[in-house]
């Protein structure tokens, strides 16, 4: 089957966060948005059709997941990730960040320490701080163009700060690491040793480049299953972020009850019907589309890598193992974080996520979202080249 990822759609005036907020932020009118993590591709046709069919019914009363919802998830996780889920583990939520905030409140007390690995997806720090908990950072080490965990630091930070919860980003946004089973096992064992719970955000699990394999944290060993909350969603994979649906798996009944009590406190009951309809349709019928998408993204990554090597060798692309986010080292340009922000947005006219959003360790870096038609990526690279050359 053929899938089209080359068509450029006009997303302006669709209520798009990515496209419609440039004036609000004082950005140039023709700025090219490659920031927030959604894709410029249409969702698979099976998803669009399922939504249309459900919409035609015309009645949108309080809803639960359509029949076959769990089975669709079960098949997906078994076939794609070798993980067997159980119906009782599943708690649906309107989003992964929302669920992370619930988990922080449910599983820790005010003032407790929560470990994160910066540079990391910035809502991790926010959900910790906004709920009156203390973020403790065990920074990833940037070594020879790649990021790794400093396990001694990881253990020391946990021990010295009496950490109660670790929020793991797996695969990791923004550095693109797909953690190996061995790395997960080492982190998970340290957490078990110090009685630290693990919230594993696996929203990018389906975006893994050839040669790498995502391992679900809970699938590493039974002890991890009982010590973790696994946060998943079809929203990155099939570009459904605006439909607000995520699937949280909590195998341990005690942890699950705490989590459910917390969501009950917030008045949360059912979700929107369209997210659940889309989720089921995507996991049932979107596999071939995703495989084609991964090939396209692999091509985009190769295009960007080759372009930077040939025409902007001073910029260093941190090779991602997964995700459609590319973390680029701009430090050779010698700009301060503020100067770099201005340069990218107003001279290159690219709207990226600036490195310091992900923590102080991100200074001098920028995050590109390459889930766009290749022609758009090419335009972005050419804008960047022109802007850099006008300075050097
Ligand atoms: C690691 C990670 N978690 C969560 C999210 C957002 O999830 P949601 O929209 O379900 O809150 C993103 C989006 O970029 C992400 O990168």
Question: For 23-48, how does the pLDDT look when each residue is reduced to its tens digit (9 = 90+)?
Answer: 899 999 999 999 999 999 999 999 99
Residue-range domain boundaries for the chain: 17-44+287-391, 60-284
Given this model, what pLDDT does residue 269 score?
A: 86
pTM for the structure as a whole: 0.98
CA–CA gap between residue 108 and residue 102 (Å, rounded): 10
Tell how far the Cα of 231 is from the centroid of ligand 1, in angstroms: 10
Domain with residues 60-284, CATH architecture: 3-Layer(aba) Sandwich (3.40)
Q: Closest ligand 1 atom to the C-alpha of 169?
A: 1
Tell me how crowded residue 253 is: count the other CB atoms within 10 A of its CB. Answer: 11
> What's the gap in Å between 158 CA and the centre of ligand 1?
25
Distance 245 CA to ligand 1 centre (A): 11
Q: What is the pLDDT of residue 1?
A: 61
State the alpha helices, DSSP H only, in the chain. Answer: 17-20, 45-57, 69-81, 96-107, 123-129, 151-161, 181-193, 222-225, 253-265, 273-285, 287-311, 337-342, 374-391
pLDDT tens digits, one per residue of 301-356 = 999 999 999 999 999 999 999 999 999 999 999 999 999 999 999 999 999 999 99
Task: State which ligand 1 atom lies nearest to the alpha carbon of 121.
Answer: 1
272/384 Cα distance (integer angstroms) = 41
Give the CATH number of domain 17-44+287-391; options: 3.20.20.70, 3.90.1150.10, 3.20.20.80, 3.20.20.220: 3.90.1150.10
Classify burial at 137, counting beta carbons within 10 Å of its beta carbon; exposed 0-12, middle 13-18, buried 19 or more.
middle
Where does residue 340 fall: left (phi above 0), alpha (psi -120 to 50 degrees), or beta otherwise?
A: alpha
Q: Which of 121, 242, 327 to mutate to test the pocket of ligand 1 (most atoms within 8 A of CB)?
A: 121
Q: Please choose from 203, 217, 239 the residue to mutate so as to test ligand 1's pocket, defined by most ligand atoms within 8 A of CB.
A: 203
Residues with CB under 6 A from ligand 1: 37, 95-97, 121, 169, 173, 201, 203, 233, 235, 241, 246
Low-confidence ranges of the chain (pLDDT < 70): 1
Predicted pLDDT of residue 225: 98
Structure tokens of 306? Answer: 């080759």
Give the SS3 label for residue 168: strand
State the distance from the centre of ligand 1 to the C-alpha of 100, rounded, in angstroms: 10
Round to whole Å and give the CA distance between 303 and 368: 13
Which residue's alpha carbon is at the smallest distance from atom 9 of ligand 1?
95
* Mutate which of 236, 278, 320 for ligand 1 pocket (most atoms within 8 A of beta carbon): 236
Atom of ligand 1 nearest to the CA of 325: 16
Give me the phi and psi of 44, to 5 degrees please.
-55, 150
Whether residue 365 contacts residue 328, with contact meaning beta carbons closer than 8 Å, is answered with yes
pLDDT of residue 60: 97
The alpha carbon of 189 is separated from its chain's Cα centroid by a whole number of angstroms, namely: 24
pLDDT at 248: 98
Cα of 96 vs centre of ligand 1, distance in Å, is 6
């Amino acid at each position: 089957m053929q899938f089209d990822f080359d068509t450029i759609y006009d997303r302006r005036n669709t209520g798009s966060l990515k496209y419609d907020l440039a004036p609000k932020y004082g950005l140039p009118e023709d700025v090219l948005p490659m920031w927030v993590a959604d894709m410029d591709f249409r969702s698979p046709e099976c998803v669009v059709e399922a939504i249309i069919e459900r919409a035609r019914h015309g009645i949108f009363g309080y809803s639960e997941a359509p029949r076959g919802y769990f089975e669709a998830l079960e098949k997906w996780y078994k076939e794609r990730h070798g993980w067997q889920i159980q119906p009782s583990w599943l708690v649906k939520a309107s989003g992964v960040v929302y669920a992370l905030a619930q988990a922080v409140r449910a599983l820790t007390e005010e003032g407790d320490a929560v470990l994160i690995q910066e540079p990391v997806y910035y809502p991790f720090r926010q959900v910790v701080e906004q709920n009156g908990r203390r973020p403790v950072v065990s920074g990833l080490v940037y070594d020879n163009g790649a990021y790794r965990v400093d396990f001694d630091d990881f253990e020391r930070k946990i021990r010295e700060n009496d950490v109660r919860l670790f929020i793991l980003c797996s695969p990791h946004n923004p550095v693109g690491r797909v953690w190996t089973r061995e790395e997960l096992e080492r982190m998970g064992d340290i957490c078990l040793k110090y009685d630290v719970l693990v919230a594993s955000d696996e929203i990018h699990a389906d975006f893994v480049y050839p040669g790498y394999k995502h391992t679900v944290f809970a699938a590493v060993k039974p002890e991890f299953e009982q010590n973790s909350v696994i946060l998943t969603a079809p929203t990155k994979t099939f570009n459904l972020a605006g439909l607000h649906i995520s699937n949280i798996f909590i195998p341990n009944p005690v942890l699950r009850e705490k989590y459910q009590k917390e969501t009950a406190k917030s008045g949360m009951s059912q979700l929107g019907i369209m997210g659940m309809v889309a989720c089921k349709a995507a996991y049932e019928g979107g596999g071939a589309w995703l495989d084609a998408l991964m090939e396209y993204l692999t091509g985009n990554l190769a295009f960007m890598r080759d372009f930077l090597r040939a025409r902007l060798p001073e910029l260093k692309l941190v090779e991602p193992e997964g995700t459609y986010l590319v973390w680029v080292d701009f430090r050779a340009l010698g700009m301060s974080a503020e100067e770099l922000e201005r340069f990218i947005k107003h001279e290159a006219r690219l709207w990226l996520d600036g490195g310091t959003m992900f923590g102080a360790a991100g200074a001098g870096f920028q995050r590109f979202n390459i889930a766009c038609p290749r022609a758009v990526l090419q335009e972005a690279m050419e804008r960047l080249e022109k802007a850099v050359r006008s300075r050097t």
